[in-house]
């Protein structure tokens, strides 16, 4: 009986998450496009719903809501469904939509989609070989095998995003890094841009006039065609066409220049807007946060290095450690069980919420930047795949932040994954990502004022 109640609670929450994913898709992601294939929207919302349910189950584990056996059952069920989606459905549909964009393969859409999916499965399987992720006791198609590989990809993604985010966040928040941009700079650049456009226009006018005169004179082809045409062009060069190709090259160069100038102008406008924003109250608040985050970032990099160098994997989680410290060193006595439950709930809750929110925002920005009306379906499905893998690996890593008694459910369901490997892998990739982001931002920052000075 209680199992039924528990299941109905789970199903209701899943439906809620599904609705939220649906709304997010419609309002935020696809707000400039028309949804023609509802399959895409359904898949995205389903992936989102099942991922959120996993987090929900962790929270329930900590709070002790629902029956323990029904929790276990739902965990297993959820994990199976998510793996099914991430390994079978989404890649297949990605292949299908990629194939439908290519006109040549239209007839045999399903066939080629299956071929693409099989290629994906092959590489996905090969991914597991170089990593010491599992004990060889399990069969081919067990949950552990699939999860271990999904975990590797997901953890890499998490670490990359996390490393870049940790460095980029203080860089964007703090106004110390803002270059000084005056209105005069912008005007000068705009003037150059318009002058370049004028030059392009005058050259194109000449080309258009030349084409028209040639057309009126009956010389339609200005490119030598065929064997005899080529021989003829060696001896008698048509002066007009040579001139034209020269002008065309100049036009191409000028167009490239105009694109560069446009991008620089856009950059200057954006910087100016940021300068104005930093003078407002909100801007100052973010500036302060930026200093705080930069300290946090440095600390994290330091910890990652220490972990790798000393080959240390934290045995206890922050909550238990914090409680130990307060009880033993500061001598404050309190009910450990009660507080550890609540604090870990809050901590895990914050981690979950910020990671979901952060991921959704990043995905949305990414989607706006690279999608077009043809590729929007494929990109959304890719994003759903990334989101699913990200959330699965968050579950793997979140295990570290929870006290021992709550880790049991994850360990039970996921079996004998080498969790320590994932943490080590996360540290390595985080370090690499953070350091290369620092290098990249440093170079970009240095280069910009030089371009600026060259005006």
Interface contacts to another protein, rule CB under 8 A: 31-34, 183, 187, 190-191, 193-194, 197-198, 200-202, 204-205, 208-209, 212, 255, 258-259, 261-263, 265-266, 269-270, 272-273, 368, 372-374
Q: By the 8 A CB rule, do 30 and 380 touch?
A: yes
In whole angstroms, the minimum distance from the beta carbon of 354 to another protein comes to 24
User: Residue 6, SS3?
Assistant: helix
In whole angstroms, the minimum distance from the beta carbon of 283 to another protein comes to 15
Return the number of the residue (261 or 348) whose C-beta is nearest another protein: 261
HSE-CB for 84 with a 13 A CA cutoff: 9
Q: What are phi and psi of 82, to 5 degrees?
A: -60, -40
Return the number of the residue (208 or 353) whose C-beta is nearest another protein: 208
B/e letters for 325-341, b = 16+ CB within 10 Å, e = fewer, are eeeeeeeeeeeeeeebb
Q: Indicate if the alpha-carbon torsion angle 96, 101, 102, 108 is positive or negative.
A: positive
In whole angstroms, the minimum distance from the beta carbon of 281 to another protein comes to 17
Return the number of the residue (172 or 418) whose C-beta is nearest another protein: 172
For residue 409, give Cα distances in angstroms to 226, 321, 414. 75, 21, 8
Reported in sequence order, the residue ranges of 48-178 that DSSP labels E, i.e. its strands, are none
Q: Which residue has the tokens 């982001």?
A: 437
Q: By the 8 A CB rule, do 90 and 47 touch?
A: yes
CA–CA gap between residue 222 and residue 229 (Å, rounded): 10
B/e letters for 348-368, b = 16+ CB within 10 Å, e = fewer, are beeebeebbeebbebbeeebe
Q: What are phi and psi of 369, to 5 degrees?
A: -70, -40
Return the number of the residue (212 or 221) whose C-beta is nearest another protein: 212
Return the number of the residue (65 or 208) whose C-beta is nearest another protein: 208
End-to-end CA distance of the chain: 76
Return the number of the residue (102 or 201) whose C-beta is nearest another protein: 201
Return the number of the residue (32 or 450) whose C-beta is nearest another protein: 32
In whole angstroms, the minimum distance from the beta carbon of 259 to another protein comes to 5
In whole angstroms, the minimum distance from the beta carbon of 204 to another protein comes to 4
Return the number of the residue (15 or 187) whose C-beta is nearest another protein: 187
In whole angstroms, the minimum distance from the beta carbon of 260 to another protein comes to 9
B/e letters for 26-56, b = 16+ CB within 10 Å, e = fewer, are eeebbeeeeeeeeebbebbbbbbbbbbbbbb
Return the number of the residue (16 or 275) whose C-beta is nearest another protein: 275
**Concatenated DSSP letters for 303-334?**
HHHHHHHTT----S-HHHHHHHHHHHTS----
Q: Which residue has the tokens 């294939």?
A: 37
In whole angstroms, the minimum distance from the beta carbon of 245 to another protein comes to 15
In whole angstroms, the minimum distance from the beta carbon of 263 to another protein comes to 7
CA–CA gap between residue 75 and residue 413 (Å, rounded): 7
The whole-angstrom distance between residue 47's C-alpha and the CA centroid of its chain comes to 16
In whole angstroms, the minimum distance from the beta carbon of 367 to another protein comes to 12
Return the number of the residue (230 or 370) whose C-beta is nearest another protein: 370
In whole angstroms, the minimum distance from the beta carbon of 310 to another protein comes to 45
Burial of 163 (0-12, 13-18, 19+ CB in 10 A): buried
The whole-angstrom distance between residue 376's C-alpha and the CA centroid of its chain comes to 15
CA–CA gap between residue 38 and residue 42 (Å, rounded): 6
In whole angstroms, the minimum distance from the beta carbon of 163 to another protein comes to 26
Return the number of the residue (160 or 178) whose C-beta is nearest another protein: 178
């Amino acid at each position: 009986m209680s199992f039924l109640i528990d299941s109905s609670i789970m199903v209701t929450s899943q439906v809620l998450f599904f609705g939220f994913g649906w709304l997010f898709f419609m309002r935020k992601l696809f707000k400039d496009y028309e949804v023609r294939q509802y399959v895409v929207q359904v898949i995205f919302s389903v992936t989102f719903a099942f991922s959120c349910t996993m987090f929900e189950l962790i929270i329930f584990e900590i709070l002790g809501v629902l029956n323990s056996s029904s929790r276990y059952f739902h965990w297993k069920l959820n994990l199976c469904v998510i793996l099914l989606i991430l390994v079978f459905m989404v890649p297949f549909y990605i292949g299908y939509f990629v194939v439908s964009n290519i006109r040549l393969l239209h007839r045999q859409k399903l066939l080629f989609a299956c071929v693409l999916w099989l290629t994906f499965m092959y590489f996905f399987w090969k991914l597991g070989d170089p990593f010491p992720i599992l004990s060889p006791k399990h069969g081919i198609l067990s949950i552990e095998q699939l999860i271990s590989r999904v975990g590797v990809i997901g953890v890499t993604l998490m670490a990359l995003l996390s490393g870049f985010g940790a460095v980029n966040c203080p860089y964007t928040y703090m106004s110390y890094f803002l270059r000084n941009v005056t209105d005069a700079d912008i005007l000068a650049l705009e003037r150059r841009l318009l002058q370049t456009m004028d030059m392009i226009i005058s050259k194109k006018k000449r080309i258009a006039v030349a084409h028209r005169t040639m057309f009126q004179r009956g010389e339609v082809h200005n490119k030598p065609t065929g064997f005899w045409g080529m021989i003829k062009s060696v001896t008698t060069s048509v002066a007009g066409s040579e001139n034209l190709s020269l002008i065309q090259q100049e036009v191409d160069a000028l167009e490239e220049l105009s694109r560069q100038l446009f991008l620089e102008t856009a950059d200057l406008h954006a910087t100016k807007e940021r300068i104005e924003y930093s003078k407002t109250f909100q801007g100052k608040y973010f500036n302060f946060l930026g200093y705080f985050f930069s300290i946090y970032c440095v600390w994290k990099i330091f910890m990652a290095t220490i972990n790798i160098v000393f080959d240390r994997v934290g045995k206890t989680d922050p909550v238990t450690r914090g409680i130990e410290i307060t009880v033993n060193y500061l001598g404050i006595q309190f009910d450990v069980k009660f507080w550890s439950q609540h604090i870990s709930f809050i901590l895990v809750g914050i981690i979950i919420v910020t990671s979901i929110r952060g991921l959704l925002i990043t995905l949305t920005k990414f989607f706006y930047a690279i999608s077009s009306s043809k590729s929007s379906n494929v990109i959304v499905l890719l994003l759903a795949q990334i989101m699913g893998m990200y959330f699965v690996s968050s579950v793997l890593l979140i295990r570290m932040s929870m006290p021992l008694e709550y880790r049991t459910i994850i360990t039970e369901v996921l079996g004998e994954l080498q969790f320590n490997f994932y943490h080590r892998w996360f540290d390595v990739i985080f370090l690499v990502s953070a350091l290369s982001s620092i290098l990249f931002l440093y170079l970009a920052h240095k280069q910009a004022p030089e371009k600026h000075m060259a005006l």
